[in-house]
Chains A and B, each alone.
Chain A
Amino acid sequence: MRKKKILIVDDEMVMRAMLRDYLSMFDYDVITAENGMIAWEKWNTNSPDILITDINMPIMSGLELLYKVKSLAPEFPIIIITGVNVDQARKSAADSRADAFLAKPFKMAELAEMVKVFLRN
């Protein structure tokens, strides 16, 4: 049985490393990208099962990436994580058909549970 593949997108290297290290503990195949553009390429080539993305990133934002992915795969699960303007981001995530939203700093246990739920569905 193939390992579930998670694509993590964040411009902060330490954040990407922490997410990769933490989620790897649950036997997921974790791949990372530093902005929306790279993530879009990896999404197309690596066929991940879930996408976890920051919003505020250079070159291509998380919302633009979300738009592109949802345009091709409306049911594809996407979790938004952001540290800026949380209230607005939360509403935006909902409006943009994101599947879940977490405001930084969040509990990794919450994220892991959320990923688990999405992947099981």
Chain B
Amino acid sequence: MNNFFVNRIILIAVLIIILNSSIYATISLTKNEKNWIAENDYVRIFVSDNNAPYEFRNNQGYLTGINIDLLREIFTKIGINVIFSSEKESINQYDIITTLNSQLIEKKEFAATKSIYQINMSYISHKNDKDISNYSAIYLMNQNQLDWVTTNENNNILISQFQNVQDVFYAFEKDTSGLMLIDNFFFWQLNELINKEKKQPYIFKNIKEKDIKLFITKDKPLLYNLVNKSLFQVYLNNTFKKIYDKWISDSNKEIFYHKNIKQFYILFALNVMFVLLIIGLIIRNFYHENDFVKIIREKNLKLSNINNELNFAKQALIIAESKSKDVLDHIDSIAITVDLSGKIVYVNSIVKNILGYTSDELIGQNLSKIVPDDSKKLIAIFYNQADRAKQGTDEIIIPSKDGLSKIFIYSTQLNKQLDGNYTINCILQDITFRKSLESRLEAYTDHLEDLVKQRTQRLRDSEERFRLVVENSKSGVFLLSENKILFCNSAVFKLTGYSSDELIDNQLSFHKLIFEDSYSSYQREFSLYHQSKESVVTMDLIFVTKENKQFSAELILSPVIYNGQRVELGIMRDVTEKKKIEKENLEKERLSILTHFAVTANDRINSPLNAISGYTELIDSQIENKNSLLKNAISNIYLSVEIIENIMKKLKSLSRITIKDYKLDNLKVFDLDEDVEKYFPASEEKNNGD
């Protein structure tokens, strides 16, 4: 192929480009049209809001659809903004109304454009019959456009509307006398449903057609011109096809039809040819390039790739080092690297917090800076451990900068460098605080152990005292649960004569220890005590021993908790001797009262007796010539006084007890000895002297 021919082809291509540019360029405008556009900021278009997919309001509330996108393209080419609205109240204020709302307007006021495209409708039927009057129902989508499709078809026919193709089809499927009416736009969805059916329905395609136009207000003839010009550009650019494809699947392309499509195909074919020509030229040039240049280019490309990879690796290495350093600087242990001479190659920044040295102070220095005396020894330890690859937990002590001894455990690793020398990586974990805590914990544990020992001893002593008290008590002490003795001291054995084996945890009922005459009293008292939940009850009972001897005892019961259960703590005290003493005291008291009465009565009777005898003497002295009867009477009075006097003397001689403060008729009986001593102390001395 010579250069001349190639240049010609290039020239033709340039011409085609120029031609295409003129075709695809924006529309040419007259001066008036330009002025009109300059004077008007926007155009108001009234669209429907429920005619998916043509004009509808989406889930976000925005007006969208095929017509909306198409109108945007039209007015983009004109160069004017557009406002879409579905508000019906101000219909006359709109500049343009689409066909889907045309029934709302007075057409005299609006001028229609040419058809932009067509919506085609098809019937789907269970039978091969196109006459609608033979059907009882029509099932269709919920779209306004269908109103005019079905108007006046059959007034008696039932029209059922649904939200989607599936629902329409399922309703139609159940009704054999029903007819389904569907926009071809949805045919691709319908095909999927029909293909699942065993019996294929009849499809009467394109039985209804609707031209989609724009109605432009007659008040704005320039707008009408502009829209028509722009529509022509839209046809040329096949804009509607692009928009339509956006809204429909590829399987449904055939349902779109437009009479201008042929023009589009011609232009499209020219474009394809042009592109093929350009590609051919590029291929030609490519194959005629020098092979050497090609090789150099490939090598350069490879070299460039290698350089890129190298740079990437370097960058990754820097990042990794930075991260490692960052990690080491944030651990709470000292990370240190030394060579075999003890020179510190690296130490992380935490060393400042632990030992007081900064990293910069230490790096490059010898270990002897921080362990002057033991640096060689420390290197040997690190080396030996690292050489054995041992992860040790041995402890070492390193002084801090301010002289405090810090305790560390360490682990080491031996590393061979690229130059063949070895370094030792060592992690030193500061356990000083932990050791201090351990020490305190140990001391505290010792203290606790001492406390336990002391309290155990106290408890033991307490138990011993308790045992001594209980075992040496003369009173019987026992625990009673449901008439069984759980425990008792030796005094109970002595009192009852029973042995430990017979009493404790045995079948011998406590009741058997109580004498039968006392048993009802015991039952009554115990029942009252138990029911009233009194804290203690005391009873005087008679008990019987194993040898059937009776003894009086005071029984005291009080509730205690033993092994989580209520039992009675009993105290049994032998009161036989006490009863005997009480009886004697009672007798003494009775005798004392009697004696005292005798003494007092003697005193109180002697005075009137003295009066009787005195008056008798007076009478006796006053009557000089007494007859025998009077003499005998006076003699008998003297005799009677003497008899009473003798009785009183005998009564008085029963006892010589002197009773103080004994009152009879408010009269105090005095102790004469005390009174004499009180008033006449000298007389006592005198008597003693005598």
Residues from chain A with Cβ under 8 Å of B622 in the complex? 25
Query: How distant is the Cα of A106 from the Cα of B622 in the complex, in angstroms?
Result: 19
Query: How distant is the Cα of A21 from the Cα of B611 in the complex, in angstroms?
Result: 11
Q: 1/0 contact trace for B598-639 toward A, CB 8 Å?
A: 011011111111111111011001100000000000000000
Query: How distant is the Cα of A58 from the Cα of B603 in the complex, in angstroms?
Result: 14
Query: How distant is the Cα of A103 from the Cα of B404 in the complex, in angstroms?
Result: 113
Residues from chain A with Cβ under 8 Å of B609 in the complex? 104-105
Is A83 within 8 A of B683, CB to CB? no
In this complex, the member of B606, B611, B612, B621 whose beta carbon has the largest number of chain A beta carbons within 10 angstroms is B611
Given contacts A11-B667, A12-B608, A66-B679, contact A85 B672 (CB under 8 A): yes
Query: How distant is the Cα of A17 from the Cα of B607 in the complex, in angstroms?
Result: 11
Residues from chain B with Cβ under 8 Å of A105 in the complex? 606, 609-610, 612-614, 641, 645
The reply to whether the CB of B219 lies closer than 8 angstroms to some CB of chain A is no
The reply to whether the CB of A84 lies closer than 8 angstroms to some CB of chain B is yes
Is B679 within 8 A of A104, CB to CB? no
Is B607 within 8 A of A108, CB to CB? no
Is A84 within 8 A of B602, CB to CB? yes
Given contacts A55-B670, A83-B603, contact A92 B676 (CB under 8 A): yes
Is A18 within 8 A of B614, CB to CB? yes
Residues from chain A with Cβ under 8 Å of B501 in the complex? none
Chain B contact surface mostly: helix
* Residues 28-77 (chain A) with a chain B CB within 8 angstroms: 54-58, 61, 63-64, 66-67
Which residue on chain A has the smallest CB distance to residue B686? Answer: A95
Is A95 within 8 A of B683, CB to CB? yes
Query: How distant is the Cα of A31 from the Cα of B672 in the complex, in angstroms?
Result: 26
Given contacts A18-B614, A88-B672, A105-B613, contact A96 B607 (CB under 8 A): no
Is B687 within 8 A of A12, CB to CB? no
Is B666 within 8 A of A58, CB to CB? yes
The reply to whether the CB of A19 lies closer than 8 angstroms to some CB of chain B is yes
Residues from chain A with Cβ under 8 Å of B292 in the complex? none
Is B675 within 8 A of A92, CB to CB? yes
Given contacts A56-B670, A84-B669, A105-B613, contact A67 B679 (CB under 8 A): yes
Is A14 within 8 A of B672, CB to CB? no
The reply to whether the CB of B673 lies closer than 8 angstroms to some CB of chain A is yes
Residues from chain B with Cβ under 8 Å of A92 in the complex? 672-673, 675-676
Identify B683's interface contact among A58, A96, A107, CB under 8 A: A96
Given contacts A22-B617, A58-B666, A96-B683, contact A89 B607 (CB under 8 A): no
* Residues 659-690 (chain B) with a chain A CB within 8 angstroms: 666-670, 672-673, 675-676, 679-680, 683-684, 686-687
Which residue on chain B has the smallest CB distance to residue A83? Answer: B606
Identify A108's interface contact among B618, B658, B672, B687, CB under 8 A: B618
Q: 1/0 contact trace for B264-306 toward A, CB 8 Å?
A: 0000000000000000000000000000000000000000000
Query: How distant is the Cα of A31 from the Cα of B519 in the complex, in angstroms?
Result: 72
Identify A95's interface contact among B611, B612, B614, B680, CB under 8 A: B680
* Residues 76-108 (chain A) with a chain B CB within 8 angstroms: 81-85, 88-89, 91-92, 94-97, 104-108
Which residue on chain A has the smallest CB distance to residue B677? Answer: A95
Residues from chain B with Cβ under 8 Å of A57 in the complex? 667
* Residues 340-355 (chain B) with a chain A CB within 8 angstroms: none
Query: How distant is the Cα of A70 from the Cα of B615 in the complex, in angstroms?
Result: 31
Query: Closest CB of chain A to B603's CB: distance in Å?
Result: 4
Residues from chain B with Cβ under 8 Å of A15 in the complex? 607-608, 610-611, 614
Query: Closest CB of chain B to A51's CB: distance in Å?
Result: 15
Given contacts A83-B603, A104-B609, contact A56 B669 (CB under 8 A): yes
In this complex, the member of B672, B673, B675 whose beta carbon has the largest number of chain A beta carbons within 10 angstroms is B672
Is A83 within 8 A of B610, CB to CB? yes
Query: Closest CB of chain A to B648's CB: distance in Å?
Result: 8
Is B679 within 8 A of A14, CB to CB? no
Is A63 within 8 A of B608, CB to CB? no
* Residues 571-619 (chain B) with a chain A CB within 8 angstroms: 599-600, 602-615, 617-618
Residues from chain B with Cβ under 8 Å of A67 in the complex? 679-680
Is B618 within 8 A of A106, CB to CB? no
Residues from chain B with Cβ under 8 Å of A1 in the complex? none
14 contacts between A and B (CB under 8 A): A56-B670, A63-B679, A64-B675, A83-B605, A84-B603, A92-B675, A96-B679, A96-B683, A97-B680, A97-B683, A104-B609, A106-B610, A107-B617, A109-B617
Which A-B residue pairs are the 9 nearest by beta carbons? A83-B606, A84-B603, A67-B679, A104-B606, A95-B683, A105-B610, A12-B607, A18-B614, A92-B672
Q: Report B's interface with A, CB cutoff 8 A.
A: 599-600, 602-615, 617-618, 621-622, 641, 645, 652, 658, 666-670, 672-673, 675-676, 679-680, 683-684, 686-687
Kindly list 5 other residue pairs between chains A and B, CB separation below 8 angstroms, not including A21-B615, A25-B621, A104-B607: A15-B608, A66-B679, A92-B675, A95-B676, A97-B683
